[in-house]
Chain A
Amino acid sequence: MTEDIILRTKDLRASYITHIFGTDREVKVVDGVNIAIRKNEVYGIAGESGCGKTTLLKLIAGFCRPPLRVQEGSVEFLGDPEKPLNLLSASDDELYSIRWKEISYIMQGSMNVLNPVRKIYKSFVDFAYPHMSDLSPKEFRGAVIEHIGKLRLGKEVLDSYPHELSGGMRQRVTIGLATLCSPHVIIADEPTTALDVIVQRETLGLMKRIQGELGNTIVLVTHDLAVHANMADRIAIMYAGTIVEEGATKDIFENPSHPYTQHLIRSLPRIGEKDRKGYLKGAPPNLADPPSGCRFHPRCPLAQERCAQETPQPKPCAGGTRAACFLAE
């Protein structure tokens, strides 16, 4: 399977480190993450707020700026399988050559990716044109019009300001912007969170269609498991900076092995169910002072003594997923 992999992280450990008046504070947001994302798949990352999803995405995109600092590990981009490129140690020129062209990144709050005081076309020129400079300005405009046409946007959109478009249109423009250069990997951070369900469905359908046409990879982050169920081929569940379980979407939803995933799936409402949903007591840990051993053990109903001392490693389980839990079989 290794030849299929386009992005992979190895033992990724990163923290937000701040020094305020001599007080150092370290928030360990990503702690030993190993994931391998394959070509031509939609890879979903799910987890509750503050578990490190966005930070992990930033690292995957090679967009690490202080106070975020990488302490260990690598993120390898295998656009050329012979020459893996470590995005965290690559030079600015190397990063520049792959950004937007190979890896594009739709940031959180993606409606605000467009500068409100610049016309849409200006944003295209600012963000994408430097990466397609083999085209003349005229050809570039033609390419943009053709591309957004595929997203059912007319060319008059290009000469509007962002506020003149509806939320759904803005979202489509953002997707158009991110897919214009046909990148191998599209990283999308909560692309549909601010939208209502109808626009959300349309947007997701569009992303899926484009992914099918271009044959590229989408890394999708959202806390909305319904979106994952519709979109993702494989899902990773994050908890407090670690990946607790990873597997094919069907297996995650049907046979979760990790107690956290089990509770997460069980909390989803299903049609026809009438009984009250159970919930987990407590709140996610403070990442400045995470619990020892398995980070989930203080809230885990099945916790044993061992869980507080040792950190479980992910292992294949009977359900088809890989779970980081001593009890998972």
Chain B
Amino acid sequence: MRKAFAGLWKSSGSFRFGIISVAFALIMIIFSFFSPYKAMESFVVTPDLPPSFQHLFGTNTRGQDLFWQMTFALRNSLMFGVVTAILSRIIAVWVGMYAGYKGGLFDKVAMSINDSFVIMPVLPILILLNFLLRDKMNWFYMAIMMALLGWAYDARVIRSQVLSLKEHVFSDTAVFCGMPTRRIIFKEHMPYVLPIIFSTTINNLLWSVGMEVTLSILGLTNVNKASIGVVIFWANQHQAMISGVWWWIAAPVVVLVFVFTGLYLLSVSLNEYIDPRTRLRMKGGVA
């Protein structure tokens, strides 16, 4: 593990950038537990101060320190993204692997449901649902909703891999030996599909955080709970750009772009490493 880390650090620039930005995000998240101010408490510092050593990201018109507010915002947004990604992975992996392996009627039914989800326009649906369920909506319900809307494309990708895997001789031999389907899927096929699962997880995480930002900017989520989108929402409410408080917008946007790019690069570099075929190549084999 340590050797792998050192090797990746040395050979892959995207891994270095990814690790640094993820470390930065983690530090921010840890800081949120030591914040001197509550997340949405207003008029605790002098308003409208530009970034300085005193206030790293500056302060806003509502008298909040943007650095400390961003620590909460990042924590909530990433938490939401991770939960969504995990929930949607459960559906995507299960449906993709079973549909690909079993084929037949199960595959047909699962894929017609799947295709319906693929073509659904997600954003209008989310806007509508958030609008209708505004009072009952909290971040966890929203994560479930996003997971239900976000699994379909990845399930198809996973299925396509399994379709080819099940034609391999080792799959036939496993069936002949009487290996149960669940074991064939999770022991024999899973190692092949793992890189795809991993990269789709990161993709899904980024997608759901992005969606959350979109909905928050539109004011459709709980705007009294800090998240990256909510910070931008309040900046817009106070017309930060017009009154010259550019750092109010800049802080969430820069943090978001930085963390997104980092996660993406980390997933790309790790993905190459996780892929069993790469490890085979490292040992000098071909597969």
Between A and B, 27 residue pairs with Cβ closer than 8 Å are A96-B178, A99-B176, A99-B177, A99-B178, A100-B176, A100-B178, A105-B176, A109-B169, A110-B169, A113-B169, A113-B170, A114-B170, A115-B170, A115-B188, A117-B192, A117-B280, A118-B188, A122-B187, A126-B179, A126-B187, A126-B188, A127-B173, A127-B177, A161-B285, A163-B283, A163-B287, A164-B285
**B191 and A117 within 8 A (CB):** yes
- For A108, the chain B residues whose CB sits under 8 A away are 169
**A126 and B169 within 8 A (CB):** no
Additional 20 contacts, C-beta under 8 A, given A108-B169, A113-B173? A61-B176, A96-B178, A107-B169, A107-B172, A107-B173, A112-B168, A112-B169, A114-B170, A115-B168, A115-B191, A116-B276, A117-B192, A117-B276, A117-B280, A118-B187, A118-B188, A123-B170, A126-B177, A130-B179, A161-B285
- In the assembled complex, the CB of B121 is this many whole angstroms from the nearest CB of chain A, namely 32
**Bound CA–CA A130/B174 (angstroms):** 11
Q: Does A16 lie at the interface of the complex (its beta carbon under 8 Å from any beta carbon of B)?
A: no
Q: Mark A97-140, 1 if CB is under 8 A from B, else 0.
A: 00110000101111011111110001100111011000000000
- In the assembled complex, the CB of B180 is this many whole angstroms from the nearest CB of chain A, namely 9
Q: Does B257 lie at the interface of the complex (its beta carbon under 8 Å from any beta carbon of A)?
A: no
Which 7 pairs, one residue from A and one from B, show the smallest C-beta to C-beta distance? A163-B285, A117-B276, A112-B169, A96-B178, A117-B191, A116-B287, A127-B177
Q: Does A252 lie at the interface of the complex (its beta carbon under 8 Å from any beta carbon of B)?
A: no
Q: Does B183 lie at the interface of the complex (its beta carbon under 8 Å from any beta carbon of A)?
A: yes
- For B176, the chain A residues whose CB sits under 8 A away are 61, 63, 99-100, 105, 107
Which residues from chain A sit less than 8 Å from chain B, CB to CB? 61, 63, 65, 95-96, 99-100, 105, 107-110, 112-118, 122-123, 126-128, 130-131, 161, 163-164
- For B170, the chain A residues whose CB sits under 8 A away are 112-115, 123
- For B277, the chain A residues whose CB sits under 8 A away are 117
- For A115, the chain B residues whose CB sits under 8 A away are 168, 170, 188, 191
- In the assembled complex, the CB of B167 is this many whole angstroms from the nearest CB of chain A, namely 11
Q: Mark B244-285, 1 if CB is under 8 A from A, else 0.
A: 000000000000000000000000000000001100100111
Nearest chain A residue, comparing its CB with the CB of B190: A117
**A116 and B177 within 8 A (CB):** no
Question: Range of interface residues on chain B?
Answer: 20 to 34
**Bound CA–CA A116/B174 (angstroms):** 14
**A163 and B178 within 8 A (CB):** no
Nearest chain B residue, comparing its CB with the CB of A165: B285
When the two chains form the complex, which single residue of A65, A100, A117, A118 contacts B177, counting CB atoms closer than 8 Å? A100
- For B188, the chain A residues whose CB sits under 8 A away are 115, 118, 126
- In the assembled complex, the CB of B285 is this many whole angstroms from the nearest CB of chain A, namely 3
Q: Point out which of A99, A114, A116, A123 has the most chain B C-beta atoms below 10 A from its C-beta.
A: A116
- For A107, the chain B residues whose CB sits under 8 A away are 169, 172-173, 176
**B280 and A126 within 8 A (CB):** no
- In the assembled complex, the CB of A194 is this many whole angstroms from the nearest CB of chain B, namely 12
**Bound CA–CA A9/B168 (angstroms):** 28
Q: Point out which of B168, B170, B174, B277 has the most chain A C-beta atoms below 10 A from its C-beta.
A: B170
**Bound CA–CA A161/B280 (angstroms):** 8
Nearest chain A residue, comparing its CB with the CB of B171: A115
- For B276, the chain A residues whose CB sits under 8 A away are 116-117
- In the assembled complex, the CB of B209 is this many whole angstroms from the nearest CB of chain A, namely 32
Q: Does B286 lie at the interface of the complex (its beta carbon under 8 Å from any beta carbon of A)?
A: yes
- For A123, the chain B residues whose CB sits under 8 A away are 170
**Bound CA–CA A109/B172 (angstroms):** 11
**Bound CA–CA A131/B178 (angstroms):** 9
**Bound CA–CA A287/B174 (angstroms):** 30
Nearest chain A residue, comparing its CB with the CB of B170: A115
**B169 and A130 within 8 A (CB):** no
Task: Say yes or no: A130-B285 contact (C-beta < 8 A), given A110-B169, A118-B188.
Answer: no
Task: Say yes or no: A118-B173 contact (C-beta < 8 A), given A126-B183, A164-B285.
Answer: no
